[in-house]
Structure 1
Amino acid sequence: MITTALTDAQKTAVAHTQGPLLIVAGAGTGKTRVLVERYRRLRGLGVAAEQILLLTFTEKAAREVLDRVELEDELPAGERFILTYHAFAQRFLQEEGWLCGIPKSFRIVSEVRKWELMRDVLLAQRPPHLFHAQRPYERIAELLKLVERLKQELVSPDEFVAWAGSMADVDDPTVAAQREAAFAYRDYQQRLLVEERLDFDDTIYYTVQLLLSQPSVAARQSQRFAHLMVDEFQDTNFGQSRLLELIAGPERNVCVVGDDDQSIYKFRGASVANLRRFRSVFPDAAVVRLEQNFRSRGPILRAAGRLIALDPERLAKRLEATRGEGRPVSVLTATNVIEEADAVAAYVKTAIDEGRHRPNAIAILLRANAHLHNFARAMQRIGVAYQVSGGRGFYQQPEIKDCLAFLRATDSPDDTVCLMRLLSLPRYAVDPIQAGRWSRRARDEGRRFFDLLEEAQDDGARRLTADLRRFAGQALRLGIDDLFYDVMEQTRYLDLPRFTGPIESLQVSANVQKLAELIGAYCDEHADQHLASYLQHLNATEAAQADEEIAPLDETVNAVHLMTVHQAKGLEFGLVIVPHLVEGRFPSNRRGEGLMLPNELLKEELPPAELHLAEERRLAYVALTRAREEVVCTLAGARQVELPLNDAPPIAALSYTQVDTYLRCPQMYQYRFVFRLPTRPRPQMQFGRILHEALKDSLGSIERDRPLTWEMVNAAYVAAWARERFCAPEQAPSLQDLGRGYLRRAFDAGDLSKPLLLEQPFSLRVDGLRLSGRIDRVDRHADGMYEVIDYKTGSAKRATDLQRDLQLGVYALAAREVFRFDPLKLSYYYLETSERVTVDKPSERLEEDRQTIVRVADGIRAELFPAKPDRMKCSACDFRLLCPSAAV
Structure 2
Amino acid sequence: MATHTLPEWLSEPQRRAILSPAARLQIVAGAGSGKTEVLARRVVRLLVEGVDPASIIAFTFTEKAAAELKARIETRAAEADERFRELPPVGRGLFIGTTHAWALRALQELGGAYELADALSEEQEWALVYRVARRLGVVDLYAEHVGPTGKISVAQAVSMFLRSAEVVYNERLERETARAAAPRFAEVLERYEWLLGEMRLMPFRVMIGRAADELAPGGRLYERLQGRIAHVFVDEYQDFNRAQETLLERLAALGAAITVVGDDDQAIYQWRGGDVSLFLSFAQRFNAAERVELGENHRCRPEIVDFARVLAESLAQRLPKQLTAARKPAPPGAVELFVASTPEAEAQTIAARIEKLIAAGHAPGDIAVLYRSTRTSARPLVEALRARGIPVQVVGHGSLLARPEMALVARLFVYWAGRTWYPNGEGRPEVVTREALEVEIQAVTGLDAERARAAMDTLERLGEGLRREGVPDIVAVFNEILAILGLPGQGDDAAARELGLGQMSELLTAFDHVVRRAAPDALYRETTGPGAAEGAEDAMLAADREDSVWGLALGAGSADGAFGAARPGLVLGPTRGEAYLMRLRAFLEEFAGRAAEEAPAEWEQTAGAVQVLTIHQSKGLEFPIVFVPSLVEGRLPSSRLGRPQEWYLPDTLFDRARYEGEEDDEARLLYVALTRAKELLVVSWFEQYQENRRAAVSRFLTGALRPALGGVRRFGDVAPAAAPGPGVRTEPPTLDFSSLVTYAECGYRYRLRHVCGFQPLLARELGFGKLLHHLIAELARAGAAGRRAQPGDVERLLERSFYLPFAGREKRAALRESARRRVEAYVRRHGDELLRTIQPEARFEVPLAAARVRGRIDLLLRADENGNGTQVELVDFKTTSNRPPAEIHVNQLRLYAAAAEAMGLEPVRLAIHDLDTDGGARQLVPLDHAAREAFRERLEAWAEGIRAGRFEPPAEPEVMCRGCDFRRFCQYSA
Give the whole-Å Cα distance in 2 for the aligned partners of 1:399 and 1:410.
Answer: 17
2:100 equivalent in structure 1: 86
8 Å Cα contact 1:234-1:270 kept in structure 2: yes
Partner of 1:661: none
Q: TM-score, normalised by structure 1?
A: 0.61
Matched letter for residue 542 of structure 1: L
User: Cα 1:546–1:318, aligned 2, differ >3 Å: closer, same or farther?
Assistant: same
Contact 1:293 1:319 in 2 (8 A): yes
Tell me how far 1:136 sits from its aligned partner: 3.2
Contact 1:299 1:325 in 2 (8 A): yes
Aligned to 1:541: 587
Pair 1:507 & 2:553 matched: no
Alignment root-mean-square deviation, CA: 3.6
1:151 to 156, 162, 169: 169
Distance change (3 Å), C-alpha of 1:104 and 1:298 = same
How far 1:418 moved relative to its partner? 5.8
2:109 aligned counterpart, secondary structure: helix
What corresponds to 1:189 in structure 2? 193
Q: Is the 8 A contact 1:428 1:464 kept in 2?
A: no
Relative distance call for 1:245 and 1:140 in structure 2 (3 A) is same
Aligned partner of 1:375 among 372, 378, 381: 381
- Equivalences for 1:648-659 in 2 at 5 Å? none
Cα 1:63–1:114, aligned 2, differ >3 Å: closer, same or farther?
farther
Question: Deviations for 1:177-204, whole angstroms, at most 9, x for unmatched residues?
Answer: xx64344333333333332322111001
C-alpha separation in 1, matches of 2:673 and 2:460: 48
Offset from partner CA, 1:162-219 (integer Å, 9 cap, x none): 224xxxxxxxxxxxxxx64344333333333332322111001222223236357425
> 2:142·2:157 contact (CA, 8 Å) conserved in 1?
no
Counterparts of 1:459 and 1:57 in 2: how far apart (Å)?
A: 47
Change (3 A) 1:247 1:349: same
Q: How does 1:216-365 map to 2 (within 5 A)?
A: 217-218=221-222, 220-249=224-253, 251-326=255-330, 327-355=333-361, 357-365=362-370
Matches within 5 A, 1:407-418: 417=432
Aligned with 1:637 (options 687, 690, 714): 687
2:774 aligned residue: none
Q: State the AA in 2 paired with 1:339.
A: A
In 1, are the aligned partners of 2:270 and 2:659 still within 8 Å (CA)? Answer: no
After superposition, the Cα gap between the structure-2 partners of 1:272 and 1:476, relative to the gap in structure 1 and judged at 3 Å, is: closer
Give 1:105's aligned residue.
117
Q: Does 1:162 align with 2:177?
A: no
Offset at 1:463? 6.8
Q: Secondary structure at the residue paired with 1:284?
A: coil
Cα distance in 2 for residues equivalent to 1:390 and 1:535 = 25
Which letter does structure 1 place at the counterpart of 2:368? A
8 Å Cα contact 1:362/1:575 also seen in 2: yes
Name which of 98, 111, 116 aligns with 2:131: 116
Q: Which amino acid aligns with 2:159?
A: A
Residues in 2 aligned to 1:230 and 1:413: alpha-carbon distance in whole angstroms: 47
1:559 to 584, 605, 609: 609
Distance 1:309 1:462 in 2: 60
Write the distance in 1 (CA, Å) between the matches of 2:506 and 2:73. Answer: 31
> How big is each residue's C-alpha offset from its partner over 1:518-546, in whole Å with a ceiling of 9 and x where there is no partner?
45555655226667265344134135447
**Unmatched 5+ stretches in structure 2:** 79-83, 422-430, 517-542, 555-576, 694-974
- Structure 1 equivalent of residue 636 of structure 2: 586
Deviation readout 1:42-79 (Å, 9 max, x if unpaired) = 11011121111000111111111112222332324422
1:158 CA displacement = 3.5
SS of the aligned residue for 2:500 comes to helix
1:309–1:487 Cα change, 3 Å: closer
| Residue pair 1:31, 1:257 contacting (<8 A) in 2 also | yes
CA distance in 2, matches of 1:324, 1:102: 54
Residue matched to 2:653 = 601
Question: 1:492 aligned to 2:486?
Answer: yes
3-state SS of paired residue (2:393):
strand
Give the secondary structure class of the aligned counterpart of 1:570. Answer: coil
Cα 1:615/1:467, change in 2 over 3 Å: closer
How far, CA to CA, are the matches of 1:508 and 1:27 in structure 2? 33
Deviation at residue 266 of structure 1 after TM alignment: 1.0
Matched, 1:135 2:152: yes
Match of 1:185, SS? helix
How far apart are residue 363 of structure 1 and its match?
A: 1.2
User: The residue matched to 1:129 in structure 2 has which SS?
Assistant: helix
**2:683 counterpart SS class:** strand
Q: CA deviation at 1:161?
A: 1.0
**Corresponding residue to 2:393 among 387, 393, 396:** 387
What amino acid is aligned across from residue 8 of structure 1 in structure 2?
A: E
Partner Cα distance (1:14, 1:226) in 2: 17
**What CA distance in whole angstroms lies between the structure 1 residues aligned with 2:660 and 2:506?**
39
Residues 623 and 642 of structure 1: is their aligned pair in 2 closer, same or farther, counting only changes over 3 Å? same
1:256–1:467: structure 2 CA closer, same or farther, 3 Å change rule? closer
CA contact (8 A) 1:116 1:540 kept: no
Over 3 Å counting, the alpha-carbon distance change for 1:546 and 1:309 in structure 2 is same
Structure 1 distance, partners of 2:243, 2:277, is 12
The answer to whether the 8 A contact 1:352-1:358 is kept is yes
For the residues of structure 2 that align with 1:235 and 1:282, how far apart are their CA atoms? 18
Contact 2:22/2:290 (<8 A) preserved: no
- Tell me, yes or no, if the aligned pair for 2:300 and 2:325 is still in contact at 8 Å: yes
CA distance in 2, matches of 1:609, 1:402: 33
The 3-state SS of whatever aligns with 2:288 is coil
Q: 1:28-67 counterparts in 2 under 5 A?
A: 28-67=32-71
**Gap regions ≥5 residues in structure 1:** 165-178, 432-457, 644-888
* Paired letter, 2:108: Q
The alpha-carbon deviation at position 469 of structure 1 amounts to: 4.4
Amino acid at match of 1:561: Q
CA contact (8 A) 1:219 1:247 kept: no
Describe the SS at the equivalent of 2:97: strand
Q: Match for residue 572 of structure 1?
A: 622
**Amino acid of the residue matched to residue 489 of structure 1?**
A
Q: What whole-Å deviation, never above 9, does each CA across 1:821-856 have from its counterpart, x for those lacking one? A: xxxxxxxxxxxxxxxxxxxxxxxxxxxxxxxxxxxx
Contact 1:20–1:252 under 8 Å retained in 2: no
The one-letter code of the counterpart of 1:535 is L
Taking a change above 3 Å as real, the CA distance of residues 421 and 30 of structure 1, as seen in their structure-2 partners, is same
CA contact (8 A) 2:642 2:657 kept: no
> Aligned pair in 2 of structure 1 residues 481, 243: CA closer, same or farther (>3 Å)?
same
Distance 2:72 2:119 in 1: 31
Deviations 1:809-830 (A, max 9, x none): xxxxxxxxxxxxxxxxxxxxxx
Letter in 2 for 1:2: T
- Sequence identity, in percent? 30
- Tell me if the contact between 1:574 and 1:630 (Cα under 8 Å) persists in the aligned partners: yes
In structure 2, the residue matched to 1:792 is: none
Give SS of 1:311's match: coil
Query: Is contact 1:510-1:552 (8 Å) kept?
Result: no
Counterpart selection for 2:668 from 571, 594, 618: 618
- Distance of 1:577 and 1:476 partners within structure 2: 46
Return the offset for 1:402: 4.0
Question: Shift of the alpha carbon at 1:104?
Answer: 4.0
Distance 1:155 1:51 in 2: 30
* Equivalent in the alignment of 2:531: none
Tell me, yes or no, if the aligned pair for 1:23 and 1:257 is still in contact at 8 Å. yes
Greater alpha carbon shift after TM alignment, 255-264 vs 327-336: 327-336
Distance in 2 between residues matched to 1:417 and 1:90, nearest whole Å: 41
